[in-house]
Amino acid sequence: MPADDLSFYAILEQYPDEASAERYFIQHRWPHGVNCPSCGSVDVLRGTQPGRRRQLWNCHGCGKQFSVTSGTIMSDTKLPLRKWLLAFHFMGASKKGMSALQLSRMLKMTYKSAWHLCHRIRATMTNDAQVFTGVVETDETYIGGRRTGRGRGYIGNKAAVQTIVRRNENGKDGQAQTIALSHEKVDGRTVGAKLRKHTIPSETVLMTDESPIYTRVGEGFSDHHTVNHKAKEYVREDWDGHLATTNTAEGLFANLKRQITGTHHHTSKKHLPKYLEEFDYKYNSRQKTDGERTAEAVRGIEGKRLNLYKPPGGGPSLFDGKAGEPRRRPKRPVKKRRSTKGVGPVPFATMPATPAPSSRPQASTAPVVPRAPAPPTSIMWGRELPRVPPKAPVTPVAGKGAPRG
Ligand SMILES: [Zn+2]
């Protein structure tokens, strides 16, 4: 079995305990011998400390002590490394992503630990520096939002997402770069900037739909073809032999939306870019096996760190609060309610207490206090309706409660 074959069965067979999982990470991190993550020195001595869970090394160059997790995304972890290995596999092998709740159930940990673990593994599956040439398709879509059917132009509802896909031609794999435009206005300037960042315009043929935001942007490219989706035109072979279509981008969005809706159900605008990077990573390595994709993610652990809370010295974190602080939710604006004074049902507190029919005999010996007269309301189905004042004057009936006022 090749060393990089990290299929689920291979993990169960080859890494049955913590020591073997640690050996896996050591072999992958330092294939040519252990070196110090602080100074790079190879003059290190393996220390023996009874009671320590992980192997330690002492560096003779800088005098620091380190383990296999030092200076990686796994730094300071208290989770067993076998759980990390399994989590890497589950995240790498799940084509439509894996939710933190699912991972917490499968690996027996709290949701918070699983969520932090997922985001740390997600941080190894990233490449936002791709530059494409050749035939490139671009399109934008809208994700989430409280109001349906309101996309571009209704700012603050949905998160806009733009994808730039190099089409699969001449035996090359199609590759994608998907970008969240969560806090940006979707116009020619925004999408143009992303296109210029991830393509070489003079060597790129651009394919878009008929949206006017691409008209000016397309002029900077070596060629620009559009298809008219409004006229139900999806593929057209042009005179120069190019196939004008954005179906590759549409297909990518179809898969992306299935991941967001089907697995995560909801992603905040703040964290959406991380999910998009994970999606791109899996899309771009779709020809590889699950084991190869997992091993590649493990190779990306070096030199990254993602704290759950903001560290004392500052730095990136998933929450903005400090460790130990309760997570504060942003306050939602309070909806102004229309005043119901004078109309509608009477508040429950003023409802007259009606004695509930009870089968139990009440053996109370307390003296009976005469009840205050009930306010003039009529009760229907538990809700009180305002009493309609009688039109004709009512003459008081002797023996019954005369209307007051
Ligand atoms: Zn050192």
Ligand 1 centre distance from Cα of residue 307 (Å): 23
Ligand 1 centre distance from Cα of residue 72 (Å): 15
Ligand 1 centre distance from Cα of residue 302 (Å): 16
Average pLDDT over residues 261-265: 92
Ligand 1 centre distance from Cα of residue 65 (Å): 8
Ligand 1 centre distance from Cα of residue 36 (Å): 5
Q: Are 34 and 26 in contact (CB under 8 A)?
A: yes
Structure tokens at 213: 């935001």
What pLDDT score was predicted for residue 278?
Answer: 94
Could you read off the pLDDT of 208-243 as tens digits, one per residue? 999 999 999 999 999 999 999 998 999 898 888 888
User: CA-CA distance, 58 to 36, in Å (whole number)?
Assistant: 8
What pLDDT score was predicted for residue 174?
Answer: 86
Could you read off the pLDDT of 117-135 as tens digits, one per residue? 999 999 999 888 899 999 9
What pLDDT score was predicted for residue 249?
Answer: 93
Is the confidence at residue 306, as pLDDT, over 50?
yes
Ligand 1 centre distance from Cα of residue 57 (Å): 10
3-state secondary structure of 168: coil
Q: Where are the extended beta strands (E) located within 17-149?
A: 44-47, 56-59, 65-66, 132-143
Q: Domains in the chain, please, with CATH?
A: 1-124+271-331 (no CATH), 132-146+156-269 (3.30.420.10)
Average pLDDT along the chain:
82
Ligand 1 centre distance from Cα of residue 44 (Å): 8
Ligand 1 centre distance from Cα of residue 43 (Å): 8
Is the confidence at residue 59, as pLDDT, over 80?
yes
Residue 70 confidence class, pLDDT cut points 50, 70, 90: very high
What pLDDT score was predicted for residue 154?
Answer: 66
**Does 150 or 34 have the greater pLDDT score?**
34
Ligand 1 centre distance from Cα of residue 309 (Å): 27
Residue 109 confidence class, pLDDT cut points 50, 70, 90: very high
Ligand 1 centre distance from Cα of residue 67 (Å): 12
Ligand 1 centre distance from Cα of residue 297 (Å): 25
Residue 189 has a CB neighbour count (10 Å cut-off) of 12
Ligand 1 centre distance from Cα of residue 70 (Å): 12
Ligand 1 centre distance from Cα of residue 88 (Å): 28
Residue 26 confidence class, pLDDT cut points 50, 70, 90: very high
Average pLDDT over residues 351-356: 54
Ligand 1 centre distance from Cα of residue 188 (Å): 50
Residue 378 confidence class, pLDDT cut points 50, 70, 90: very low
What pLDDT score was predicted for residue 395?
Answer: 58
Q: Which H/E stretch holds residue 202?
A: strand 199-209
- In this structure, what are the phi and psi dihedrals at residue 198, rounded to the nearest 5 degrees? -110, 10
Percent of the chain exceeding pLDDT 90 equals: 50
What pLDDT score was predicted for residue 335?
Answer: 74
Ligand 1 centre distance from Cα of residue 116 (Å): 29
Ligand 1 centre distance from Cα of residue 109 (Å): 34
214 alpha-carbon distance from chain centroid: 29
What pLDDT score was predicted for residue 115?
Answer: 94
The model scores a pTM over 0.85: no
Q: How buried is 17 (Cβ within 10 angstroms: 0-12 exposed, 13-18 middle, 19+ buried)?
A: exposed
Ligand 1 centre distance from Cα of residue 76 (Å): 18
Ligand 1 centre distance from Cα of residue 18 (Å): 26
Ligand 1 centre distance from Cα of residue 6 (Å): 31
User: CA-CA distance, 236 to 166, in Å (whole number)?
Assistant: 18
Ligand 1 centre distance from Cα of residue 66 (Å): 9
Could you read off the pLDDT of 142-197 as tens digits, one per residue? 988 777 766 666 666 788 999 999 988 765 678 999 999 877 888 899 999 999 99
